Amino acid sequence: MTVAAYPGSFDPVTNGHLDIIHRASRIFDQVIVALFVNLEKSPMFTAEERLEMVREVTAGLPNVTVESSTGLLVDFCRRRGVDVVVRGLRAISDFDYEFQMAQMNKELYERVETVFMMTRKEHLFLSSSIVKEIARLGGDVSRFVPEGVHRRLMEKIGETGGGGLR
Ligand code: ADP
């Protein structure tokens, strides 16, 4: 049985993330969406809110589970029996960082393989950061995120004006 982890901040989860989760769920026996709490970023949504949103949008996928974690991804992989790390690739600009992370994770945990999935062309320029930026400035982001996420995004901006910067 191949267990894959799809790590990220998911602040918030977008249609680009969701597409990667769907496609990974067709390839691997089990997919754990691993929400990492990154202390260097100041998120718009709390870890709890992000977790709830990812759980909601993946509820129909029986082999997908969602967990939050802190610390090193390779330690998470060791603990949870994860052999494959799934990452999405958009443009060449993603490659540099992803290449470095994949090399480093292999160095730290020989058993783990990183598998990259190419984004669909309609999600090429989609990121959580750009969605938040457009939403804060009053633009319509409803086609970039699932419906429940859009509602929460609007609520959050109404409450706080959008909070953190990334
Ligand atoms: P991180 O903070 O680790 O970059 P993100 O939550 O931004 O985490 O993204 C998690 C993963 O999803 C990364 O591999 C990222 O490249 C990928 N991803 C984000 N947006 C898209 C998209 N539009 N299409 C494909 N993959 C994406």
- pLDDT tens-digit profile of 80-98? 999 999 999 998 888 999 9
- Ligand 1 atom closest to the CA of 87, numbered from 1: 14
- pLDDT tens-digit profile of 142-156? 999 999 999 999 999
143 catalytically annotated: no
Secondary structure (DSSP) of the chain:
--EEEEEE--TT--HHHHHHHHHHHHHSSEEEEEEE--TTS--SS-HHHHHHHHHHHTTT-TTEEEEEE-S-HHHHHHHHT--EEEEEE-SHHHHHHHHHHHHHHHHH-TT-EEEEEEPPGGGTT--HHHHHHHHHTT---TTTS-HHHHHHHHHHHHHHTT-S--
Report all structural domains of the chain as residue ranges with CATH numbers, in order of start: 3-125 (3.40.50.620)
Let me know: does 84 contact 113? Beta carbons within 8 Å: yes
Contacts of 22 (CB under 8 A, 6+ apart): 61
Greater confidence (58 vs 40) lies with: 58
Ligand 1 neighbourhood includes 94 CB (under 6 angstroms): yes
Mutate which of 37, 38, 90 for ligand 1? The one with the most ligand atoms within 8 Å of its CB, which is 90
CA distance 38 to 93: 21
Q: Rounded to two decimals, what is the model's pTM?
A: 0.93
Residue 12: Cβ-neighbour burial (10 angstroms; 0-12, 13-18, 19+): buried
Ligand 1 neighbourhood includes 10 CB (under 6 angstroms): yes
Residue 164 pLDDT greater than 90, yes or no: no
Residue 165 pLDDT greater than 60, yes or no: no
Ligand 1 neighbourhood includes 123 CB (under 6 angstroms): yes
Over range 49-60, report the average pLDDT: 97
